[in-house]
Structure 1
């Protein structure tokens, strides 16, 4: 059992009540946090009951979605209109667009990637080019070990300023120093004029948000693999986010 306190225990519930008195920024990852993980990523959607709760929350506080997906990809999967969406792990803003330096820096890797794409596809890996980042998925690979070997071959020699980050059956290709989810939540808190905040996420790319959050923030790691997380609280499974949203709505302003 993890030593990290569960958000729905007494301590976590009290933290939510304190937070909601301050009109906080409410930040959420998409896949695995608001939406259940599915075998086919294109089928991911927020359940209707969760979308309705989020819609009600937007009347009380800024609700932001910070996703590894592109903004256009995630927007139609939400079922409600959030205050703000940030995509590409923090490098693409809904209103300001993707960071142009990041898009340009990835060009050298794109050329290398296209040369090796047939080999990746044969191993069961697929490429998703999101402009400001690239994801190489192998969730549907018949032989995940073979797919990982093919991806390792692709990323063995990376162009300058390019780095990788491993997630759940995906390898993300990113530009070193690109805005991440930690930068995103800081930028959004300043934009919406709040010092208090909440952020929940389930994967490696959410850790910068946990790390950069101010001490008073409520940060939550969803699901397993908690040993090295810098979040302050945990949820054991994605479905528990519904109860968290209900607690936020029931908390006195």
Structure 2
């Protein structure tokens, strides 16, 4: 991984923007700063204005773990496309019905154990095509993780878990992921190159499946096991990347 804002990274961005790129962005921790209460997450106004300018010139996709309806009102601009539920919900086609049905067996167990989870400081967010169990607000994170571990110890067939930042995601094995979403959107919008940036485990499929000429970026300290080719030190640097993209579009016309 190389730092995106060094000379090599800036050069890669410049080459990308001379083509017909699709620009893909995760939401929480990437476009929007991480907050203690997930419902308070919003795009900073300056970021929204930069993205609005970009979306007027190239396809801009927001690919989030949130539901489409949830993330849409938090943006402050209209992207070209929104994908939710880690890739399993398209704003045009809705959530994958097979995924929603497969999670039904887990929901029954989850609802029975919800009081115990809440007592430990964990909260459930059922997003239809995926389920998130948050423990960011838990006074005792260890106790919260232990309660979640009991819940997911004996999963129904076809259901898997994926840890994130103070969250455990419950997903359907083989469900469309962010890599699938970026591949699908690249074809839909006739892009010949791509950019994707995210900050968590569920962004790795998009990094891993990116074409050799894509620019993929992980927000956060450099991680050798990530499939992203570049990194940013912190979320606050995203605006600088957007400004560089716009400047290159102005140069190329």
Q: Cα gap change, 1:109/1:225 in structure 2, threshold over 3 Å: closer, same or farther?
A: farther
2:175 alignment counterpart: 178
User: Of 43, 47, 53, which residue of structure 1 is paired with 2:44?
Assistant: 47
Describe the superposition over 1:24-43 as per-residue Cα deviations: whole angstroms up to 9, x where unpaired.
Answer: 00000000000000001001
User: Of 220, 224, 240, which residue of structure 2 is paired with 1:223?
Assistant: 220
- State whether residues 124 and 141 of structure 1, in contact with CA within 8 Å, keep that contact through their aligned partners in structure 2: yes
- State whether residues 3 and 231 of structure 2, in contact with CA within 8 Å, keep that contact through their aligned partners in structure 1: yes
Describe the superposition over 1:173-214 as per-residue Cα deviations: whole angstroms up to 9, x where unpaired.
Answer: 000000000000000000001120100000000000000110
Query: What SS is found at the alignment partner of 1:37?
Result: coil
Query: What SS is found at the alignment partner of 2:78?
Result: coil
Q: How many residues align?
A: 250
Gaps of 5+ in 2: none
Structure 2 CA distance for aligned equivalents of residues 227 and 118 of structure 1: 39
Structure 1 CA distance for aligned equivalents of residues 27 and 120 of structure 2: 28
Residue 74 (structure 1) aligned with residue 58 (structure 2) = no
User: Of 163, 166, 171, which residue of structure 2 is paired with 1:169?
Assistant: 166
Shift of 1:225: 5.9
Structure 2 CA distance for aligned equivalents of residues 105 and 9 of structure 1: 45
2:152 alignment counterpart: 155
User: Of 114, 117, 120, which residue of structure 2 is paired with 1:120?
Assistant: 117
- Aligned ranges for residues 1-253 of structure 1 at < 5 Å? 4-224=1-221, 226-251=223-248, 252-253=251-252
Describe the superposition over 1:116-135 as per-residue Cα deviations: whole angstroms up to 9, x where unpaired.
Answer: 00100000000000000000
Describe the superposition over 1:76-119 as per-residue Cα deviations: whole angstroms up to 9, x where unpaired.
Answer: 00010000000000000001100000000000000010010010
> Normalising by the residue count of structure 1, what TM-score does the alignment of the two structures yield?
0.98
Describe the superposition over 1:200-240 as per-residue Cα deviations: whole angstroms up to 9, x where unpaired.
Answer: 00000000000011010000000136131000000000000
Structure 1 CA distance for aligned equivalents of residues 184 and 64 of structure 2: 15
Structure 1 CA distance for aligned equivalents of residues 7 and 137 of structure 2: 40
> Normalising by the residue count of structure 2, what TM-score does the alignment of the two structures yield?
0.98
Structure 2 CA distance for aligned equivalents of residues 39 and 236 of structure 1: 20
Structure 2 CA distance for aligned equivalents of residues 225 and 8 of structure 1: 13
Query: What SS is found at the alignment partner of 2:228?
Result: coil
Structure 2 CA distance for aligned equivalents of residues 225 and 107 of structure 1: 38
- State whether residues 23 and 60 of structure 1, in contact with CA within 8 Å, keep that contact through their aligned partners in structure 2: no
Structure 2 CA distance for aligned equivalents of residues 72 and 225 of structure 1: 32
